[in-house]
Amino acid sequence: MSAGNAVTTGATTTIVTRGNRRVRRNSKRVEPIYYLFLLPSVILFTLAITVPGVIGIFFSFTDSIGIGDWEFNGLTNYIAAFSDPAILSSFLFTFGFALATVVVVNVISFLLAVGLTSRIRFKMGLRAIFVIPMVVSGLIIAYVFQFLFQNSLPAAGQALGIPFLSESILANPDLAWLGIVIVTAWQAIPGTLLIYIAGILSIPGDVYEAAAIDGASKRQQLGRITLPLVAGYVVINVILGFKNFLNAYDIIVGLTGGGPGTSTRSIAMTIIRGFQTGDYAYQMATATLFFIVTIVIAALQLSVTRGRANV
């Protein structure tokens, strides 16, 4: 070995000598057995997700109805989708619903997390109770709340003389989306709550003790310590929640079925209804556009959350 560039290679470490300096480099090799265990997942993902997705994108450039003969028609389906009021309204409703639900879920979850990590009695039991909605099917939850909105609340409103509650909000095109936000938030809060609890518990107690000694109130500790230190968790919850709410389907089906009219029809519901009526290629074009939107959001998530050491 030469004095200027002496190299000693082991199983996982390489030492390079440059002049009077010795630089240690890690050169960890991936064992082939890892690829063997990864192979079944890759095959299943390819067959169940990638191949159907590529086939769907291919047929979005045709006039196929899902069966029988078909011909290429270029960008006709995409041009029609951009000028279709039903498609545009479903996109608008979905994004508005997702944005409103993200705000509601994160505000309530954060406040609950602060309360459930404070010095209160029975907080472990309360945490268990609050996560129950997470394990219940969204369709079952929707049917239960549909009965409440259409029967129990109107009956209570009429008995108490409250006009606002005397009629079901699900029958009002301007208010039906509120019911969907309430039910979706009720199911989504537990998962978001757990992430916020984990973030708050990761903050060292010494930080709060030092702030208390300096005379900081609970409100000041919340705004100047808790919120900044869990900012990474807030970003993750907001982005993941928004991306998940864009796929809303089962709760909307159970509550309103997309009505009244089409006022609460989401993108996913519009696509599936189109498949059921034989509008296969056209809705595949809509699905492809929706896929591109979700990819952009996923890329945003990666760019925002990459390198956050406090998460």
On whether both 94 and 25 belong to a single domain, the answer is no
Question: What confidence score (pLDDT) does residue 7 get?
Answer: 42
On whether both 12 and 105 belong to a single domain, the answer is no
Judged by DSSP in three states, 27 sits in coil
CA 193, 196, 202: angle at the middle one, nearest 5?
140
Question: What confidence score (pLDDT) does residue 306 get?
Answer: 67
Segments forming the whole domain that contains residue 6? 1-30
Question: What confidence score (pLDDT) does residue 311 get?
Answer: 44
Q: How far apart, in Å, are the Cα atoms of 303 and each of 235, 297, 306? A: 11, 10, 6
Question: What confidence score (pLDDT) does residue 109 get?
Answer: 93
Question: What confidence score (pLDDT) does residue 310 get?
Answer: 44
Count of beta carbons in the 10 Å neighbourhood of residue 184 = 27
Amino acid letter, 119? R
On whether both 16 and 124 belong to a single domain, the answer is no
On whether both 25 and 85 belong to a single domain, the answer is no
The mean pLDDT of the chain is 84
List the beta bridge partners of residue 16.
7, 23
Question: What confidence score (pLDDT) does residue 133 get?
Answer: 80
Question: What confidence score (pLDDT) does residue 308 get?
Answer: 53
Number of domains forming the structure of the chain: 2
13-24 confidence digits (pLDDT tens): 555 555 555 555
Q: What is the CATH number of the domain that holds 104?
A: 1.10.3720.10
Cα separation, 183 vs 185, whole angstroms = 5
pLDDT tens for the 311 residues of the chain, in order: 444 444 444 445 555 555 555 555 555 677 888 888 889 999 999 999 899 999 999 999 998 888 888 889 989 999 999 888 989 999 999 999 999 999 999 999 999 998 888 877 777 777 777 778 877 888 888 999 999 998 888 888 888 888 878 888 998 888 899 999 999 999 999 999 999 999 998 888 888 888 888 888 888 888 888 888 898 888 889 888 888 899 889 899 999 988 888 899 999 999 988 888 888 899 999 999 998 988 887 787 777 766 554 44
Residues in the chain: 311
| Ramachandran assignment for 295, one of left (phi > 0), alpha (psi -120 to 50 degrees), beta (any other) | alpha
On whether both 17 and 100 belong to a single domain, the answer is no
Question: What confidence score (pLDDT) does residue 14 get?
Answer: 52
On whether both 24 and 111 belong to a single domain, the answer is no
Domain-located, residue 191: yes
On whether both 147 and 280 belong to a single domain, the answer is yes
Question: What confidence score (pLDDT) does residue 305 get?
Answer: 66
On whether both 15 and 133 belong to a single domain, the answer is no
On whether both 127 and 229 belong to a single domain, the answer is yes
Domain-located, residue 62: no
Domain-located, residue 214: yes
Domain-located, residue 96: yes
Domain-located, residue 12: yes
Question: What is this structure's pTM?
Answer: 0.80
On whether both 3 and 96 belong to a single domain, the answer is no
Domain-located, residue 8: yes
19-58 confidence digits (pLDDT tens): 555 555 555 677 888 888 889 999 999 999 899 999 999 9
What letter does residue 131 receive in the DSSP assignment? T
Range 4-36 burial, b when 16+ CB lie within 10 A, else e = eeeeeeeeeeeeebeeeeeeeeeeeeeeeeeee
On whether both 10 and 103 belong to a single domain, the answer is no
Domain-located, residue 45: no
On whether both 15 and 144 belong to a single domain, the answer is no
Domain-located, residue 48: no
